[in-house]
Amino acid sequence: MFTAHYRIVCVVLICIAVCASLSLVHTSTPPSKENYATPNDSLFVQQWNLKTGSGLNGINAIFGWDIYTGNSNVIVGVLEDGIQMEHPDFDPTRMYGDDVPSSAHGTMVAGIIAAKANNGRGTAGIDWACKIQWYNKFPDQNLDLLAEQIDSISAAHITNCSWGKNWSNDGNANSDVYISFIDLYNRNILNVAGQGPNAFPEEFPYGTLRVNGILKSSNSPFEYNQNPDVVAPTGTETATPEFRIWAPTSGGGYSTIGETSAATPHVTGVAAMLLGFAMSRGEVLYADDLAWLIKRTAQPRGGAVPDPTFGYGLVDLNGALRGISQGKVVNHYSAVGTVVAQQDLGVMEHSFPHIRGLSDDVLVVEMYTVEASFDLNATFVDNPAVWTRPAQSGTTKSGGGNNGWKHVDLTETSPKVYRLRGYVYHLRTILGGVADPEWWPAPPGQAVLAMSAWGEPALVAPVEQVALSPNYHKVNLQWNDPNRNETGIFIQRRTSTGN
């Protein structure tokens, strides 16, 4: 009997056999790759933000591009006041929007994400293939229209908000914007937003990946605001040119951009690359998966992880792509929760600001606690990283965050066994009628709890062993291969005599 353990760090296979010698025949060979680490764009020499090195706070794109350069099936929604769509460093087949006005700020944001690369001019974007869809940031300065604009987003996989607006204190129209961002998240669209003195990311609901800026060689954030998720490169207009962030601007030229306006699209570009890479491998990554993989593969800055100043650290394109290609996988789990408790919460006023139509209601509320458990011992070698996410049926929401309500708790009850505990609410009016919705997020018997797990997969047990002779055996092993470079292994076992 022998045991096999598989790890793709150097594509190493270790097989232990007693008094035996093994000859291994691989059933497939790794695909070839091309090196895109140094694009020939004329301003790339100034793009420290895409590089890596000792004391340099770049996103490590030059090594990430060795793995992947982008996927044209990924659509990034850029919420800005305009973009110069016909800029010569944009590929017109990748730019979408009707009657788009030109804007320097929006052009630079879109350029950091998706400027043409390796074309001999200007700057290189992070993602060389994704599409950009423009959405008007503040149409006619009307927040009602902004809410409608966000509600209309359907094709985009990721949205970028390199701006902030304190809408929670400006009345019902702004509450609609808040709810629209929640609905965006519940539609499995990742929102990436800047965090700084002129932005109010705490007003973005849960489901938003919050970004702070970090300068080229500084170990302190450019814009201090507590508890970002990650940091990304930015610059200042007062810095010498080699410390700035260069990007296409309106008028067909190039200029520099700073603050979290620059940092945010770096994270959006990494998210687009990660999603496109997963798509190319036939894998699924939900919005929460993108956010957590970006956080878990970031380069730590500061002290603890997460750090109150730097969050999980500096976003790393190479690390994010390797996170799903070098021996680790993301698996998904979901189940209908079982009711374990019920509690009458009584009359509550203005208690559901995150549900459209109920933000100003006085309600009689009952809370049901539902649970589901998942045993991952047969799936992963070691304890995986785990996180909750909305079930794709839309019946439960993860997070909780700044709306005051917890939706799903995740607890490891024993090694690699996880319990999800969710909360659903029965809502009635004070006159005894039913609210609309009556149940939130779903009736107890329909409340689906969902989680994701990221780690090194365990081998599947041998599926076939054939005795060809007393001293000669053939064993076929199969496994869940995260790198998809190896699809199987044929092992021949001979006795120590060599017969």
Residue 202 has a pLDDT of 53
> 216-251: per-residue pLDDT in tens?
887 766 665 678 899 999 987 666 667 889 999 999
List Cα–Cα distances, 193 to 174, 207, 215, in angstroms. 17, 10, 18
Choose the weakest-confidence range: 101-115, 150-164, 209-223, 299-313: 209-223
CA dihedral 319, 324, 328, 330 (to 10 degrees): 130
Q: Please answer whether residues 410 and 386 qualify as being in contact, where contact means their C-beta atoms are separated by less than 8 angstroms.
A: yes
Cα separation, 146 vs 144, whole angstroms: 5
pLDDT at 394: 45
Triad 210, 91, 282: Cα angle to 5°: 60
Rg (the chain; Cα; Å)? 25
How far apart are the C-alpha atoms of 316 and 310, rounded to whole Å?
14
The owner of tokens 């800026």 is 213
Q: Which residue bears the tokens 């009736």?
A: 443
pLDDT of residue 396: 45
pLDDT in tens, 271-304: 999 999 999 999 999 999 999 999 999 999 888 8
* Residue-wise DSSP of 92-105: GGGEE-SSPPP-HH
Which of 180, 211, 167 lies closest to 193 in space, CA to CA? Answer: 211
Residue-wise pLDDT for 389-427, tens only, equals: 876 544 444 443 333 344 788 999 999 999 999 888 899
Q: CB burial class (10 A; 0-12, 13-18, 19+) of residue 3?
A: exposed
Superfamily of the domain at 44-326 = Peptidase S8/S53 domain (3.40.50.200)
Task: Read off the amino acid at residue 459.
Answer: L
DSSP symbols for 423-486: EEEEEEETTSPEEEEEEES--GGG-EEEEEEEEPBPPPPP-EEEEEETTEEEEEE----SSSS-
Q: Across residues 424-444, what is the average pLDDT?
A: 86
| Least confident segment among 109-123, 141-155, 364-378 | 141-155
* Res 268: pLDDT: 98
Pairing of strands 75-80, 131-136: parallel
Q: Taking residues 372-391, report their average pLDDT.
A: 92
**Mean pLDDT on 256-267:** 93
Helices (H) and strands (E) in the chain, counts: 7, 23
Cis peptide bond N-terminal to 415, omega within 30? no
Q: Which of 4-8, 22-26, 128-132, 323-327 has the highest mean pLDDT?
A: 128-132
Q: How high is the pLDDT of residue 491?
A: 40
**Rounded Cα gap, residues 390 and 286, in angstroms:** 9
Count of Cβ atoms closer than 10 Å to residue 471 Cβ:
13
Question: Domain-by-domain residue ranges, the chain?
Answer: 3-29+459-495, 44-326, 331-455
More reliable by pLDDT, 63 or 10? 63
C-alpha distances in Å from residue 22, one per residue of 6, 16, 29, 363: 16, 9, 19, 70
CB 222 within 8 A of CB 189: no
Tell me: the pLDDT tens digits for 50-106? 998 878 899 999 999 999 999 999 999 999 999 999 999 999 999 999 899 999 999
Whether the per-residue pLDDT at 457 is higher than 50: the answer is: yes
Whether 454 and 330 have beta carbons less than 8 Å apart is answered as: yes
CA–CA gap between residue 234 and residue 214 (Å, rounded): 6
The pLDDT of residue 408? 84
Question: What pLDDT is recorded for position 223?
Answer: 61
CA atoms lying within 13 Å on the CB side of residue 324: 26
Please state, as a whole number, how many other Cβ atoms lie within 10 Å of the Cβ of residue 99: 7
Residue partners of 159: CB distance under 8 A and separation at least 6: 76, 77, 78, 79, 135, 153, 184, 189, 190, 191, 192
